[in-house]
Amino acid sequence: MEFDNEGCNSGPQFNFVYCGVILLLTIALACFGQPADALAEKNAESRGAYIFKAAGCVGCHTRAKPKGKFLAGGRRMETPFGAFYTPNITTDRQHGIGNWTYADFVAAMREGKTPDGSVYYPAFPYSSYTHIHDEDLRDLWAYLQTVPAVSEPRREHDLIFPFSLRFSVRGWRLLYFEASRFVPYPKKSLAWNRGAYLTRALGHCGECHTPRNLLGGLDKGRELAGNKNAPDGKRVSNITPHLKKGIGTWSESDIRSLLRDGSLPDGDFVGGSMTEVVENGTSHLTDKDLQAIAVFLKALAPHEGP
Ligand code: HEC
Ligand code: HEC
């Protein structure tokens, strides 16, 4: 038996052993290569599951009453412009986003653009999600691919004129929206930067806690200073460290507790839509991430609010 292989030219006996070893190594690599890939994939999914929770996607995209299927949409959102019904974002090809490419997903999240080139209403909080890191968007997408398809048709929004015309959003976008990315502030600590990212990008806390002007634009000069007229018409607390109007008397540990299980410093529990934010979102975050949010909130400019 002869091997005519350049790498195996030291006699037939040796050749056989040597090439055999190489062959085995190749087979081993091929075999172990696969689980390693699958593992990397799995990590992307579990990282994505964490992003998904930090970003609170489930509450809006799953009907509450009667309880709907996971991410099949149909949740009604009351606003001064009428009622929105969230779309199905399961992997269903007909009614969900099963036909989407990753580029479609990025355009939706970062730019608020639909696959056919139209624009989304800001009831989908892409003004915040536009700041999500590229890696996190990729992981989030990997996670969404694991969501079972639910064949449930979407329901049209029920908005008042002229907001019922989708292109009416273009004016709002000109004034208040710019596709963006989170840029770390080198002068601030790592914890502050992580907290800023969790609060401004993923947690989209400002969508409820920052006051808006008449046209529905966020008043960035009064970040998180509370909202007398939240989208659902309710009052949202001032969470800047203002001593009288905000949470200036809270410790970092008080903030962590509220976000972990909804408990307030006085022993009561938080109510309203914050219950759901805690349940679906912040209660799943690591202590380190909760601490980062606390550090960021304590460092905000204290503001009296509207
Ligand atoms: C505050 C409620 C809310 C949250 C939170 C929310 N969404 Fe949405 N989302 C909406 C609404 C409302 C729309 C529809 C907007 C429109 O019709 O213009 C939408 C649309 C979408 C679409 C477009 C679907 C399509 O078929 O065109 C995708 C994709 C999406 N959301 C994904 C997500 C992901 C991922 C998250 C979490 C990171 C998330 N959403 C969090 C309210 C929300
Ligand atoms: C869907 C709207 C919404 C979102 C998003 C939201 N909140 Fe809230 N939050 C509320 C409302 C409403 C209250 C007041 C609840 C009440 O009246 O008991 C509240 C209360 C709070 C309080 C308690 C303030 C106090 O004085 O009792 C804190 C702290 C807080 N939110 C932090 C956050 C953080 C941090 C985020 C982002 C991770 C966030 N919230 C996202 C609606 C929201």
Shared domain for 239 and 91, answered yes or no, is no
Q: Which of 27-31, 47-51, 169-173, 216-220 has the highest mean pLDDT?
A: 47-51
Which domain-ending residue is among 163, 181, 199? 181
Which domain-ending residue is among 161, 181, 201? 181
Query: Pocket of ligand 2, candidates 75, 209, 249, 293: which has the most ligand atoms within 8 Å of its Cβ, to mutate?
Result: 209
- The confidence score (pLDDT) of residue 79 equals 87
Q: Is residue 86 in a domain?
A: yes
Q: What is the pLDDT of residues 54-71, one digit of tens each?
A: 999 999 999 998 999 999
Indicate the pairing of strand 76-79 with strand 82-85: antiparallel
pLDDT band at 11 (very low <50, low <70, confident <90, very high): very low
- The confidence score (pLDDT) of residue 245 equals 96
Shared domain for 158 and 291, answered yes or no, is no
- The confidence score (pLDDT) of residue 39 equals 56
Shared domain for 82 and 176, answered yes or no, is yes
Q: Which protein residue has the closest C-alpha to ligand 2 atom 40? A: 205
Shared domain for 21 and 132, answered yes or no, is yes
- The confidence score (pLDDT) of residue 65 equals 87
Domain, as residue range, for 36 = 12-181
Instruction: State if residue 199 touches ligand 2 by the CB under 6 angstroms criterion.
Output: yes
Q: Which atom of ligand 2 is nearest to the CA of 297?
A: 35
Can you give the pTM of this predicted structure? 0.89
Host H or E run for residue 257: helix 252-261
Q: Is residue 28 in a domain?
A: yes
Of the bound ligands, which one is closest to the alpha carbon of residue 53?
Answer: 1
Query: How many domains does one find in the chain?
Result: 2
Host H or E run for residue 159: strand 158-159
- Is 247's pLDDT higher than 80? yes
pLDDT band at 37 (very low <50, low <70, confident <90, very high): low
Shared domain for 78 and 199, answered yes or no, is no
Q: Is residue 145 in a domain?
A: yes
Shared domain for 165 and 276, answered yes or no, is no
Shared domain for 193 and 264, answered yes or no, is yes
Q: Which protein residue has the closest C-alpha to ligand 2 atom 43? A: 274
- Is 8's pLDDT higher than 80? no
Mind giving me the DSSP string for the chain? ----BTTB-S-HHHHHHHHHHHHHHHHHHHHHHHHHHHHHHHHHHHHHHHHHHHTTHHHHHB-TTTT--TT-B--EEEETTEEEEPPP-SS-TTTSSTT--HHHHHHHHHH-B-TTS-B--TTS-HHHHTTS-HHHHHHHHHHHTTSPP--------EE-TTTTSGGGHHHHHHHH---------TTS-HHHHHHHIIIIIIS-THHHHS-B-TTS-B-GGGTTS-BSS-TTS--B---S--TTTSSTT--HHHHHHHHHH-B-TTS-B--TTHHHIIIIIGGGS-HHHHHHHHHHHHTSPP----
Distance 198 CA to ligand 2 centre (A): 14
Shared domain for 202 and 299, answered yes or no, is yes
Q: What is the pLDDT of residues 155-197, one digit of tens each?
A: 999 999 999 999 999 999 999 999 999 999 999 999 999 999 9
- The confidence score (pLDDT) of residue 111 equals 98
- The confidence score (pLDDT) of residue 228 equals 86
Q: Which atom of ligand 1 is nearest to the CA of 169?
A: 18
Q: In this predicted structure, which of 156-160, 197-201, 216-220, 235-239 has the lowest mean pLDDT?
A: 216-220
- Helices (DSSP H) in 112-251: which residue ranges? 126-129, 134-144, 169-176, 190-196, 206-209
- The confidence score (pLDDT) of residue 232 equals 67
Instruction: State if residue 272 touches ligand 2 by the CB under 6 angstroms criterion.
Output: yes
Q: What is the pLDDT of residues 94-121, one digit of tens each?
A: 999 999 999 999 999 999 999 999 999 9
Q: Is residue 7 in a domain?
A: no
Shared domain for 113 and 247, answered yes or no, is no
Distance 276 CA to ligand 1 centre (A): 17
User: Could you give the CA distance from residue 115 to residue 34 in angstroms, rounded to a whole number?
Assistant: 33
Q: What is the pLDDT of residues 264-306, one digit of tens each?
A: 999 999 999 999 999 999 999 999 999 999 999 999 999 998 8
Q: Is residue 2 in a domain?
A: no
Distance 61 CA to ligand 1 centre (A): 7
Q: Is residue 118 in a domain?
A: yes
- Is 230's pLDDT higher than 60? yes
- The confidence score (pLDDT) of residue 38 equals 55
Q: Is residue 4 in a domain?
A: no
Shared domain for 70 and 103, answered yes or no, is yes
Q: Is residue 3 in a domain?
A: no
Q: Which protein residue has the closest C-alpha to ligand 1 atom 8? A: 124
- Per cent of the chain over pLDDT 70 is 85
Shared domain for 54 and 172, answered yes or no, is yes
Averaged pLDDT score across all residues of the chain: 88
Q: Which atom of ligand 2 is nearest to the CA of 56?
A: 5
Which domain-ending residue is among 160, 181, 202? 181
Distance 286 CA to ligand 1 centre (A): 25
pLDDT band at 4 (very low <50, low <70, confident <90, very high): very low
Shared domain for 117 and 246, answered yes or no, is no
